[in-house]
């Protein structure tokens, strides 16, 4: 193991030995990081390691209980996020923080709207500036639209546009690519590199090792709230980093188990929703894992939501084991044995004020209540069991979910649906935000479910996950199914080709 190699240049921002406790929970015990001008620095660690807490200290959201904090080598104290922003630090959080009722342009320029003649806010300047930013970023987002209803990917891009427009000296991003796929990630990387080349210091958190190694100049590892080491990216291996993160050797992907594939359980025929997707037909059979691949915005999440009855559809039908499913009725879907693990888990998957146990068994409780079987002890036992299986890190399962780290919240949503024992499970990005140690466990659980005859439809933007787990891969592009690829024929190139049609020729 290399020893920590901290910088020789003067870092633009540095924190040494910072601590932060919330009541009895010590989120940070030795928060140490140095961000140099002109570098891209990756921060890695398991779910609950204290990464987001460290970032919130840098951002002035949390005052550290102790520690040495410096800007350009001089001691500094940030009492509020405004202090940190004034010092040229822009932070993009794990959960986007846009105002849903404002337009995209208003969100970007909030608090500093360009003024025209007579001191009035110039909407046209705002629109022109926002359009310029999106052109730089290469994304077609309408600056005049209301932020509500935007995908996570688009919200993230808007936050980045805002940071760029602020001309930040330090850009900090908490899992910026979690909601993005291939092309969007590449675009973001391009932007990050050009900011670095202009001298900005960039810190980003990621659970994806390909991008940690592809993008960063240096990597800092945290474990259990403490600094472990900072490495020059070129002189360290993935295995070494993983060992420092978890303290042992592990594999990122669980090898797929073969399951007996039976009759179709979920049958989707000619499903369409004007302007969103059309002519979607496929089956998922008992014991089968069908991967649904495609770029962000291809309509995969929308299809899953329509099947589950959250959104309406205008054409087509859904059947579960040959029985037509009432459209636009999630309760009917649950009664018919469907489960959906949503993409935007914070908003759709959890009740933040309720405890971990309560959340984990919420869906189950609905079912239990219906059959008059509710038992507090049983609920508690199930909550505990699933929290343990998914390694949910919390001081107590009775604490509100709001106090959990991002990745641990994701695990609770997964637990909630896995505990219901559905016939058909729709999972949208099952391992997004989940650390490398638990990822293999999630894959094992999904594989187990298929092994027990459950039909699984898995939306994933991570190609290795789709290629590793799926018996069959459906690919969507711009609201249509463009390919069905059997496991034996599946390659990353084929999937990408069907998702983008930008490659020169079909491999
Ligand atoms: N407001 C809070 N109240 C109580 N505990 C908290 C609070 N914020 C964070 N924690 C705890 O501090 C620890 C570190 O959390 P943090 O969010 O920094 O982790 P993380 O490294 O960002 O993890 P992830 O990869 O899952 O996002 C966790 O155990 C979390 O439950
Ligand atoms: Mg976090």
User: Residue 400 in contact with residue 22, Cβ under 8 Å?
Assistant: no
pLDDT for 253: 61
Q: What is the pLDDT of residue 149?
A: 85
3-state secondary structure 355-393: EHHHHHCHHHHHHHHHCCCCCHHHHHHHHHHHHHHCCCC
How far apart are the CA of 48 and the centre of ligand 1, in A? 5
Give nearest CA residue, ligand 1 atom 12. 27
Beta-carbon contacts of residue 420 (< 8 Å; ≥ 6 apart): 334, 339, 363, 364, 367
Closest-approaching ligand to the CA atom of 412: 1
Task: Quickly count: other Cβ atoms within 10 Å of residue 109's Cβ.
Answer: 21
What is the reported pLDDT for 256?
79
Pocket of ligand 1 (CB under 6 A): 22, 25, 27, 45, 47-53, 393-394, 403-408, 435
In ligand 1, the atom with minimum distance to the C-alpha of 410 is: 26
* pTM exceeds 0.75 for this model: yes
Of 356, 373, 355, the C-alpha closest to 364 is 373
pLDDT at 251: 61
Beta bridge pairs of residue 13: 35, 71
Cα separations in angstroms, 59 against 54, 109, 205, 438: 9, 19, 14, 28
Q: To test ligand 1's pocket by mutation, which of 31, 45, 48 has the most ligand atoms within 8 angstroms of CB? A: 48
Q: Output the residue whose Cα is nearest ligand 1's atom 31.
A: 404
Query: How far is the centre of ligand 1, averaged over its atoms, from the C-alpha of 435 (Å)?
Result: 13
| pLDDT (0 to 100) of residue 1 | 38
Query: What pLDDT shows up at residue 370?
Result: 45
Coil, strand or helix: which one is 326? coil
- Domains of the chain: residue spans and CATH: 13-98+150-246 (3.40.50.300), 250-337+422-433+450-507 (3.40.50.300), 346-421 (no CATH)
CA of 158 to the centre of ligand 1 (A): 25
Give the atom of ligand 1 at the shortest distance from the alpha carbon of 25.
Answer: 5
pLDDT, residue 371, reads 47
Q: Which atom of ligand 1 is nearest to the CA of 433?
A: 25
- Which residues, given as ranges, of the chain have pLDDT below 50? 1-5, 368, 370-373, 503-507
Residues 16 and 407: their CA atoms lie apart, in Å, by: 25
Q: Residue 344 and residue 302: Cα distance in Å, rounded?
A: 12
pLDDT at site 78 = 95
CA-nearest residue, atom 22 of ligand 1: 52
What b-and-e string marks burial along 236-254, b requiring 16 or more CB atoms within 10 Å of the CB?
beeebbbebbbeeebebbb
Task: Find the 52 Cα to ligand 1 centroid distance in Å.
Answer: 7
312 CA to middle of ligand 1, Å? Answer: 37
d(CA 308, CA 401): 25
Strands 40-44 and 66-71: unpaired
Nearest CA to ligand 1 atom 11: 27
How much distance in Å is there from the Cα of 50 to the middle of ligand 2? Answer: 7
What is the per-residue pLDDT for 181? Answer: 63
């Amino acid at each position: 193991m290399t020893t920590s190699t901290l910088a020789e240049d003067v870092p633009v921002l540095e924190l040494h030995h910072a601590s932060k406790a919330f009541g009895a929970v010590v989120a940070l015990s030795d928060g140490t990081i140095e961000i140099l001008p002109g570098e891209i620095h990756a921060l890695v660690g398991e779910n609950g390691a204290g990464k987001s807490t460290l970032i919130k200290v840098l951002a002035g959201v949390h005052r550290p209980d102790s520690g040495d904090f410096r800007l350009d080598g001089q001691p500094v104290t940030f009492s509020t996020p405004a202090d940190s922003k004034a010092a040229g630090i822009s932070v993009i959080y794990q959960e986007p923080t846009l105002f849903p009722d404002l337009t995209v342009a208003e969100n970007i320029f909030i608090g500093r709207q360009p003024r025209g003649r007579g001191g009035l806010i110039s909407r046209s300047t705002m629109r022109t500036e926002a359009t310029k930013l999106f052109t730089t970023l290469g994304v077609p987002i309408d600056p005049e639209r209301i932020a509500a209803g935007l995908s996570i990917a688009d919200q993230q891009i808007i936050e980045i546009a805002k940071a760029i427009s602020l001309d930040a000296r330090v850009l900090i991003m908490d899992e910026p690519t979690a909601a993005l796929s291939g092309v969007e990630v590449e675009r973001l990387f391009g932007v990050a590199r050009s900011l670095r080349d202009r001298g900005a210091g960039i810190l980003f958190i990621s659970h994806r090792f390909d991008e940690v190694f592809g993008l960063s100049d240096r990597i800092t590892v945290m474990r259990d709230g403490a600094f472990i080491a900072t490495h020059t990216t070129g002189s360290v291996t993935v295995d070494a980093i993983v060992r420092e993160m978890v303290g042992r050797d592990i594999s990122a992907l669980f090898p797929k188990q073969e399951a007996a594939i039976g009759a179709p359980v979920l049958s989707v025929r000619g499903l369409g929703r004007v302007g969103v997707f059309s002519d979607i037909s496929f089956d998922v059979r008992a014991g089968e894992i069908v991967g649904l691949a495609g770029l962000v915005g291809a309509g995969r999440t929308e299809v899953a939501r329509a099947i589950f009855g959250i959104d309406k559809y205008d054409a087509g039908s859904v059947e579960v084991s040959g029985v037509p499913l009432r459209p636009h009725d999630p309760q009917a879907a649950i009664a018919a044995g469907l489960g959906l693990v949503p993409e935007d888990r914070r908003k759709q998957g959890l009740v933040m004020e309720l405890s971990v146990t309560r959340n984990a068994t919420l869906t189950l409780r609905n079912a239990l209540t219906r059959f008059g079987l509710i038992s507090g002890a049983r609920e508690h036992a199930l909550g505990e069991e699933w929290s343990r299986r998914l390694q949910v890190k919390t001081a107590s399962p009775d604490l509100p979910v709001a106090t959990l780290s991002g990745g641990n919240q994701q695990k609770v949503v997964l637990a909630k649906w896995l505990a219901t024992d559905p016939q058909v499970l729709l999972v949208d990005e099952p391992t997004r935000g989940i650390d490398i140690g638990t990822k293999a466990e999630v894959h094992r659980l999904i594989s187990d479910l298929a092994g027990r005859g459950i039909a699984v439809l898995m939306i994933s933007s991570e190609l290795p996950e789709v290629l590793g787990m799926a018996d069959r891969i459906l690919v969507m592009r711009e609201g249509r199914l463009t390919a069905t690829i059997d496991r034996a024929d599946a390659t990353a190139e084929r999937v990408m080709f069907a998702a983008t049609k930008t490659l020169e020729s079909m491999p």
